[in-house]
Structure 1
Amino acid sequence: MFKPILPMLTVCLATQAWADGDHEPIGDAVKDLPIFDAHIHYKQPAWSEYSVASVIELMDKSGVAMGLVSSTPDEGTIMLWEYAPNRIVPELRPYHGSAGSSNWAKAEGMADYLEKRLNAYPHQGIGEFHIHRLDTSDAKLFRQIIKMARSRDIYLHVHAGTEPIRWLKSLDPRVKIIWAHAGLGTPAPEVYDLMAEFPDLLADTSLREYDILDRSGKLDLDWGKVIFAFPDRLMVGSDTWVNSQWDNYEAIIASNRAWLSVLPRDIAEQIAYKNAERVFGRTVSRSLLGTR
């Protein structure tokens, strides 16, 4: 169950600290932070509309120094990584051919496909993949996937509700997971509970930016509890799953800076890029902007 006392105290203490000037919100200085975008796709429909050079240019304009990229098919990720290896952290999405978000776990030869791609390229994760409806008969494949990830010390990037995350952890408690969209439709109190239950669970907040700030532009209370309890386990993201997201990329990153701007500098920096530095062993700096 949701445990409000400690996070409520954290939020209150944080508010008090802002008031006494020790931890003022970062405010307009948020524009100077480099961003690590932890949820990028470069899917095939984007290839003709957005060249690899134009994607990096959009990242530059938005102050996005580096990003975690998965694509349908994986060739999109590799094209971006080969063009800008210092800016792209590749991860392997299972979707290819007729295997998509709803049927990929049933696709023939999926384990062999993943193993082959992981051996050919330096993917730092497997995903983002969807578990729309948990089917425990898929356990054999997921045990294979977890074994692949653990042998390479990489993450699974999972788009799912709370039940599939708990199921994956039951298959192997040591599996490392980035929870895509922090559960997307999962209410913030349930996000808190799951992250409290699994101390190594990470989450990207793509598509949650308008939940995190309320309509008045203030930090939502329940999301504030999540953020102040787990500032070292959150990363921002854009989720360029359709071309319209690329069309609006600068605005999407700006909306993420908006909620980061109400946080103390140390927490804003953690979520904007420092957590990703630790997770992926990279140096994320604005000096990367304009480079490949």
Structure 2
Amino acid sequence: MSIFLTRIAILLTGLTLATSGQARNYHYTDGHLHYVDFFQETEGMAELIKQMDANRVDHVMITGIPLAKKWHEDEPKRPRYYAGDDADAYWYSATDFYVAAALGDLNDKERARFHPFISGFNPVDKNADAHIERLLKLYPGLWQGIGEVFTRHDDLTAITSGDTPRANNEAMARVYHLAAEHDMPVLLHSNITSKREKNPLYLAEVEGPLRNHPHTRFIWAHAGTSLELHRHQTQLDFVRPTLERMLEAYPNLYIDLSWSVLKPYLLDDNGKPDGEWLALVKRFPDRFMLGSDVVGKFGSIGEQMHGFDPFLDALPADVAQNVARDNFLNVLPRKLK
């Protein structure tokens, strides 16, 4: 082989190694993190920052949990999660104050890494927008988004006190108007279907707001899926083509790829990235973001975020870093940029 061809071979080998993902060390934004759990308890800010530092998580979307799980009089043992027994969950507005208090104890450098969202309101109450407005006035300059708003949410919906929340009801329309007025994104949990229907049963509840509120930026939690859906239906074949159509139709739609989307969609059982999902992300490189969706305990943040690495490694390096870190930051209010 000539010296010229040898040099070309070495150059191509180096380029392959550089783009294969083997040497990539991503920095992340966790775009979906709950500071407290369904009992409004937390491991605290010191533990959260420790886990962020250990796992190259530069930024975090931080929010509370808008529901509190009741320990019912008839239950001898305190449940560990909302699905631990049949007792109700109820709307709990104090969750936002816990988040605000935790952030108030940080110095300016630490504080800049956190992006707090308001979640403590009842999405079937037309007073919800007034509650959010009061919080914006109580903590001027603090809040950067709204959510996670719980609407259709598996068994959690069934045990929640009051009416069934829907993403397209009148109360939420008022919230979307407020979000647009303040240039704030809305992280919305709305399951695309039920546990047994193999079609996008509830899609209209999301698509209506996207169409009717074009100036509001929506982040669709878990791409409309959930772990509970996958327990009953291993994979929903219509999810990816539905997302492709909606991303094309609605420039105000963004997709949260938090952990329940990882398998069986982004990666197969052997950890191999799905080619069609890779093509979708490459087609809309600015519209996808990652999240751990941890609730009050932070030891698994690294596992959750690094779990996306095989999928990220199969993307072009610039797209991968946007998905891992920058896309979430770019959807925040423009005044922060």
The residue that corresponds to 1:226 in the other structure is: 280
Q: Name which of structure 1's ranges 85-94 and 67-76 shifts more when overlaid on structure 2.
A: 67-76
Residues 1:165 and 2:206 aligned together: yes
The one of 181, 204, 215 aligned to 1:151: 181
Is 1:28 the equivalent of 2:22?
Answer: yes
Q: 2:46 aligns with which of 44, 53, 56?
A: 53
The counterpart of 1:111, out of the listed 118, 129, 132, is 129
Q: Distance in 1 between matches of 2:179 and 2:206?
A: 15
1:110-151 Cα distance to aligned partner (Å, 9 max, x none): 232111112223211111112216758832x22321221111
The verdict on how the C-alpha distance between 1:48 and 1:178 changes in structure 2, with shifts beyond 3 A counting, is: closer
SS class of match (2:255): strand
1:99 alignment counterpart: none
The residue aligned with 1:286 is none
Give the conservation status (yes or no) of the 8 Å contact 1:80–1:88.
Answer: no
1:128 to 144, 148, 152: 148
Moved >3 Å (runs of 4+):
18-26, 44-49, 133-137
After TM superposition, give the deviation of residue 47 of structure 1 in Å.
6.8
Following superposition of structure 1 onto structure 2, how do residues 1-292 of structure 1 map, counting pairs within 5 Å? Answer: 21=15, 25-31=19-25, 33-44=26-37, 50-72=43-65, 73-82=95-104, 83=106, 84-95=110-121, 104-107=122-125, 109-121=127-139, 122-132=142-152, 135=166, 138-139=169-170, 141-160=171-190, 161=192, 162-185=203-226, 187-207=239-259, 208-210=261-263, 211-241=265-295, 243=297, 246-280=298-332
Q: Secondary structure, in 3 states, of the residue corresponding to 1:157?
A: strand
Q: Which amino acid aligns with 2:135?
A: R
Query: Does the Cα contact within 8 Å between 2:167 and 2:209 map onto a contact in 1?
Result: no
Greater RCO (Cα-Cα under 8 Å, separation 6 or more)? 1
Structure 1 residue 265 displacement after superposition = 0.7
Partner Cα distance (1:135, 1:49) in 2: 28
Structure 2 residues without counterparts, runs of 5 or longer: 1-11, 66-94, 153-163, 193-202, 227-235
Tell me how many residue pairs correspond in the alignment.
254
Alignment partners' CA distance in 2, 1:130 and 1:191: 20
Bigger helix share: 1
Q: In structure 2, what is the Cα distance between the partners aligned to 1:258 and 1:80?
A: 34
Mapped partners of 2:39, 2:296: distance in 1: 8
Q: CA deviation at 1:191?
A: 1.7
Any idea what SS the aligned residue of 1:231 has? Answer: coil
Superposed displacement of residue 45, structure 1? 5.8
TM-score between the two structures when normalised by the length of structure 1: 0.77
Gaps of 5+ in 1: 1-17, 96-103, 284-292
CA RMSD after TM alignment = 2.8
Q: For the pair shown, which has the larger CA radius of gyration, 1 or 2?
A: 2
Secondary structure (helix, strand or coil) at the match of 1:39 reads strand
Q: 1:20 to 1:167 in 2, by over 3 A?
A: farther
Distance 1:136 1:79 in 2: 29
